Structure 1
Amino acid sequence: MAVQCWADILKSSKKTALIHDGKRKIHYLFTDGKEMAEEYDLNTDELIVRKWRSKSPLGAEGPWQIEVGEPFPTTVGTLESEVIKENCSNPVFLRKDTKTSFQWRVRNLPYPSDVYNLSVEPTERCCIIRTSNKKYFKKFNIPDLDRNLLPLDSSALSFTHANNTLIVTYKKPKEVLTLEHELLRELKKLKGTNEGDVDCKTQ
């Protein structure tokens, strides 16, 4: 998908809008068969959820993969419930963006602020969280930058720590802000319905 400009891929996708429960829900179907679903807060226009789904080699629909938002609750079945119960103190990594920044939260990290070190690895196109006490290590990429073929900038990366949660912030580059602004303007033109899906395609 990198050969074609991401903005053009978004424009050429088939979009379906649904207004429900105070959220604007958008479903994208791309020409390669991949699906993306997003949810925006109707009042603030902030992105709450972004998830992806691809078809298997045999054509079956694969599971949704969360890119932005809370991970799916896995409370089905006793075995899974026991696993969740056992690991409830393990760090939980998730992404929650703001309008101006990409943001990740790592819950259940009780260590003081001076333990954390954040760095950018341009060659691997990822960010890395390390702790000097070697208790936590996380390598993660920023799909939005990859899709737009934008470089990583270490000066855009910062963090704060409070209430056992590490909050990592990466300031969105102007190219991403411009694209998101234009996309939201287009999405607001879609005739969202409260009763079901309506096909709406923007050019």
Structure 2
Amino acid sequence: MRHQKTSFDPSKRKIHYLFSDGKEMAEEYDLKTDELIMRKWRHKSPLGAQSPWQVEVGEPLVNTPGSQDSDIIRESCSNPVFTRKDTKSSFQWRIRNLAYQKDVFSVFVEPSERCVVIKTSNKKYFKKFCIPDLDRCGLPLESAALSFTHANNTLIVTYKKPKEILTGEQELLKELKELRGTTEGDCKAQ
């Protein structure tokens, strides 16, 4: 892994990573809180074309008006929206547009599939998702670290970060703070 580019705008630190297997990762951190705002991945196809960005943390990328996909049929704005937003001490997922009571939801770890499962007793919503950070570190999923709450039509699922992840994030943050980045308008002298 190597840092290809680091840049700052007034409120964010952006880091772009290139990996030896051809994958790319881009991260954005809030400069005031040092919290991860977005992490997205992409890779090259066997023929060398770039795949679209896959958002792991943060709001999903939306199509801008005038883009090719904007005129195609799209999802209803009342469909559930699944996003991940991490905090300093936990991984957190938010599913908006779920207008059920908390007791309708069942959230649990499925150790054999290494994923978290969300389902409703009325069979209106079902979702399985993995925690890539734990998979990359080879750490097991712990049921005791999982919790959830529901408010304002949003289900919030929280998984407490293991010590190994917290330590790794602190070391990475120290390293990132030492990087010198470019700001908007910087250019190399020719």
What is the distance in 2 between the residues matched to 1:83 and 1:122?
37
Structure having the higher helix fraction is: 1
- Find the residue that maps to 1:146 and give its secondary structure: helix
Number of residue equivalences: 186
- On the 8 A contact 1:75/1:81 being kept in 2, the answer is no
Give, as a single letter, the amino acid of the residue that structure 2 aligns with 1:179: G
Alignment-derived partner of residue 179 in structure 1: 168
- On the 8 A contact 2:117/2:126 being kept in 1, the answer is yes
Question: What displacement does 1:39 show?
Answer: 0.1
Give, as a single letter, the amino acid of the residue that structure 1 aligns with 2:105: Y
- On the 8 A contact 2:29/2:36 being kept in 1, the answer is yes
Question: What displacement does 1:73 show?
Answer: 1.2
Residue deviations 1:107-131 (CA, integer Å, cap 9, x gap): 0000001000011011100000010
Q: Does 1:55 align with 2:44?
A: yes
Give, as a single letter, the amino acid of the residue that structure 2 aligns with 1:125: R
What is the distance in 1 between the residues matched to 2:84 and 2:118?
14
- On the 8 A contact 1:17/1:197 being kept in 2, the answer is no
Q: Does 1:64 align with 2:90?
A: no
Question: What displacement does 1:38 show?
Answer: 0.2
- On the 8 A contact 1:18/1:196 being kept in 2, the answer is no
What is the distance in 1 between the residues matched to 2:71 and 2:99?
24
Q: Does 1:113 align with 2:102?
A: yes
CA shift in 2, pair 1:101/1:68, >3 Å: same
Give, as a single letter, the amino acid of the residue that structure 2 aligns with 1:45: D
CA shift in 2, pair 1:90/1:129, >3 Å: same
- Find the residue that maps to 2:183 and give its secondary structure: coil
Question: Of the candidates 20, 26, 30, which is equivalent to residue 9 of structure 2?
Answer: 20
- Higher relative contact order structure (alpha carbons within 8 Å, sequence separation ≥ 6): 1
What is the distance in 2 between the residues matched to 1:37 and 1:82?
28
CA shift in 2, pair 1:197/1:141, >3 Å: farther
Q: Percent sequence identity over matched residues?
A: 69
Aligned residue runs from structure 1 range 1-203, under 5 A = 12-76=1-65, 80=70, 83-84=73-74, 87-195=76-184
Question: What displacement does 1:75 show?
Answer: 4.2
- On the 8 A contact 2:3/2:15 being kept in 1, the answer is no
Give, as a single letter, the amino acid of the residue that structure 2 aligns with 1:113: K
In structure 2, stretches of 5+ residues that fail to align are: none
Residue deviations 1:138-168 (CA, integer Å, cap 9, x gap): 0000000000000000000000100000000
- Find the residue that maps to 1:188 and give its secondary structure: helix
